[in-house]
Chains A and B, each alone.
Chain A
Amino acid sequence: MNGSKLKRLHRAALRSVSFLVLLALWEIASRFDLIRPFLLPPLASVLARLASDLVSGAFALNAGLTLYRTLAGFALASLVGIPLGILISRHRLVGWFVEPIVSVGFPMPTIAFLPIFMLWFGVFDLSKIVMTAFSAVFTVIAAADGGTRGVERPLVWSAESLGARHGDVFLEVMLPAAMPQILTGLQVALPLALIVEVASEMLMGGAGLGGMMVQAASYADSAGVYAGIVETAAVGAVAVALMARLRRRVLRWHPEAAR
């Protein structure tokens, strides 16, 4: 067993080489003034900025706000989108009506609607949350629709011939069977929500990672901009990890969990 552990460490070390090389290049570039400090501030200053953000609670505030708004919008999109998507696959009339809307909304640059939401809901949390939800909902609807549509008929028939009633069949058979695809849709929707949330914050300003970065750029505070990127990436990583966790939990029974 020692051999395989060593091999795993070896591989992990190999994979971090690229980062170390990049960081080394960064240091060299700023030390030897190869790039203007405005474009590429010294690594130390960015790290110092990260540290001070952590200590002062600025990171917690900004990241917390961004994450809160993202999750709120995402939750809204899920609560609306999943039932709607399921409804589409089950009722032909609803499906006929909603399908072109989803088909237009899916590739749409939903961020273009931001000024409308600002007009309707003001410039505080509500408009950002609605904007985020609006962006994510089409992905969720499509996934829920596809997932329930794709449930194999033998599964449903088996349940019915074992005596399950209509409502039971839906809750106990169709929904779990559709879960993998629904969760995949959610996993795509959450990063999308975060992208739109950050853009909304940049446009509207105020507290939050987006607003903080735009402010740093306007003050020519490039260390702040770089630190903001790292902090936003951290929030993004947390979001991705959360979804992966959720998926593993909900799909414990699925063959993919056995891998």
Chain B
Amino acid sequence: MNVAPARPAEEAGIVIEHLSHTYAPEAGTGVLALDDVSLTVERGSFHALLGPSGCGKSTLLFCIGGFLPLQAGRIRTARGPVSGPGPERGVVFQNFALFPWKTVRENVLYGIGKRGIRGAAAREIAQHFIDLVHLTGFEGSFPSQLSGGMQQRAALARTLAAEPDILLMDEPFGALDAQTRRIMQEELLAIWRQTEKTVVFVTHDVAEAVYLADAISVMSARPGRIRETVAAGFNRDPDPAVVRRPAFTDLVELLWELVKSEVEACRPALASVA
């Protein structure tokens, strides 16, 4: 168990310092979603944010993405301070967020077009990423014609086609069934190893975090704080039996105890029944 030391943004992928965020302050009673969160994500690493529902991990992700106004604290990447959304920080959402009126190809072409690339060159790049996520043959389909897993691949292809440095993923496999989820996890690791991007991955599934991540930050429930950051790194091991190793299952147990105590902190009545 060790915590990654803070480093300058040029080496680190993302540096977050004393970030706080309150929702809807104008209604009188605001909800403090994030409370003085500080975190460093190593460049090229796969960093998971783990915690119970409503603990602010998605909020943290959206702040890094630049979608929420910066209220207190700072976020920096290698390109400078974060002040709004940008193609260097690509996002993949839980409900895919594909443009339903565009085909898969048109979705993937969207980010490419914003970079100023058009025509045959653009189509070639789009095809490369569609092939990368194993959606060859479905370029002309609309999202409504695809299964959940396929839609998520399309969303991933779209995000990757914009060539971001950082990949922000908000429980991307949460809407998929268990089998598809397992397949997508393996494919995501393969793509990550190939493209060497910095990934921030939000999940409530402990085993998923341990399987995928280099480092896992456990977040506390309302208000959201980083409770602990632990190192994992099982993702470097290509052996599928890694999930049965004692080190793996021990870490899962450890993290589960941490997360469980946060879940119980939110629901005192239920804890007394258990």
A–B contact, 8 Å CB criterion (strictly below): yes
A residues with CB within 8 A of B: 1, 3-4, 7
Q: Known A-B contacts: A1-B28, A4-B29, A7-B27. Give 5 more (CB < 8 A).
A: A3-B28, A4-B27, A4-B28, A7-B26, A7-B28
Encode B18-33 as 1/0 by CB contact (under 8 A) with A.
0000000011110000
A1: B residues at CB distance < 8 A: 28
Contacts of B29 in A (CB 8 A): 4
Interface residues of B toward A: which range? under 10
- What is the bound-complex CA distance between A83 and B251, given in angstroms? 62
Give 8 A-B contacts (CB < 8 Å), ordered by A residue: A1-B28, A3-B28, A4-B27, A4-B28, A4-B29, A7-B26, A7-B27, A7-B28
CB contacts (< 8 Å) of B27 on chain A: these are 4, 7
Minimal beta-carbon separation of A1 from chain B (angstroms)? 7
A54–chain B nearest beta-carbon distance, Å: 39
Given the complex of chains A and B, what is the CA–CA distance between A7 and B26 in angstroms? 8
What are the residues of chain A within 8 A of B28 when measuring CB–CB?
1, 3-4, 7
Closest to B29 in A: A4
Q: Specify which chain B residues have a CB less than 8 angstroms from the CB of A4 in the assembled complex.
A: 27-29
Using a CB-CB cutoff of 8 Å, which residues 1-60 of chain B contact chain A?
26-29
CA distance A3 to B29 in the complex (A): 9
Task: For the complex formed, measure the closest distance between the CB of B29 and the CB atoms of chain A, giving whole angstroms.
Answer: 8
Identify which of B26, B27, B28, B29 gathers the most chain A CB atoms within 10 Å of its CB: B28
Separation of A3 and B30 alpha carbons in the complex (Å): 12
Bound: A66/B27 CA distance, A: 42
Nearest residue, chain B, Cβ from A11: B26
- In the complex, A7 Cα to B28 Cα: how many Å? 8
Query: How many angstroms between the C-alpha atoms of A1 and B26 in the bound complex?
Result: 12
From residue A50, how far is it (CB to closest CB) to chain B in Å? 38
Docked Cα-Cα span, A3 to B27, in Å, equals 9
CB nearest neighbor in A for B26: A7
Question: What's the Cα separation between A4 and B26 when bound, in Å?
Answer: 8
CA A3 to CA B25, docked complex, whole Å? 11
**Smallest CB-CB A-B distances: 5 pairs:** A4-B28, A3-B28, A4-B27, A7-B28, A7-B26
A4 and B27 CA atoms in complex are apart in Å by 6
Q: In the complex, A189→B48 CA distance in Å?
A: 53
Within 8 Å CB of A7, what residues of B?
Answer: 26-28
Q: Roughly how many angstroms separate A1 CA and B27 CA in the complex, as a whole number? A: 10
Give the docked Cα–Cα distance between A3 and B28 (Å).
6
Q: Once the chains are docked, how many angstroms separate the CA of A7 from the CA of B29?
A: 12
Distance from B202 Cβ to chain A, minimum over Cβ atoms (Å) = 27
In the complex, what's the smallest C-beta–C-beta distance from B35 to chain A, in angstroms?
A: 22
- Docked CA distance A1–B28 (Å): 7
* Cα distance, A7 to B27, chains bound together (Å): 8
Q: How far is the CB of B108 from chain A (nearest CB, A)?
A: 36
Q: Enumerate chain A residues within 8 angstroms of B26, measured Cβ to Cβ.
A: 7
B77 to chain A, nearest CB (A): 36
Question: What is the CB-to-nearest-CB distance from B213 to chain A, in angstroms, rounded to a whole number?
Answer: 37
Task: Give Cα distance in the complex from A123 to B18, angstroms.
Answer: 77
Complex CA distance for A7 and B30, rounded to whole angstroms: 14
Closest chain A CB from B52 CB (angstroms): 23
Which residue of chain B is the closest to A4 with respect to CB atoms? B28
Q: A111–B240 Cα gap in the complex (Å)?
A: 72
Query: Chain B residues with Cβ under 8 A from A3's Cβ?
Result: 28
Q: What per-residue 1/0 map shows which CB atoms of B112-144 lie under 8 Å from chain A?
A: 000000000000000000000000000000000
Residue of B nearest to A5 (CB): B28
Interface bits B71-101 vs A (CB < 8 Å: 1, else 0): 0000000000000000000000000000000
Q: How far is the CB of B26 from chain A (nearest CB, A)?
A: 7
Of all chain B residues, the one with the shortest Cβ separation from A6 is B28
For residue A7, give the distance in angstroms from its CB to the closest CB of chain B: 7
Residue of A nearest to B28 (CB): A4
CB proximity of A4 to chain B, nearest CB, Å: 3
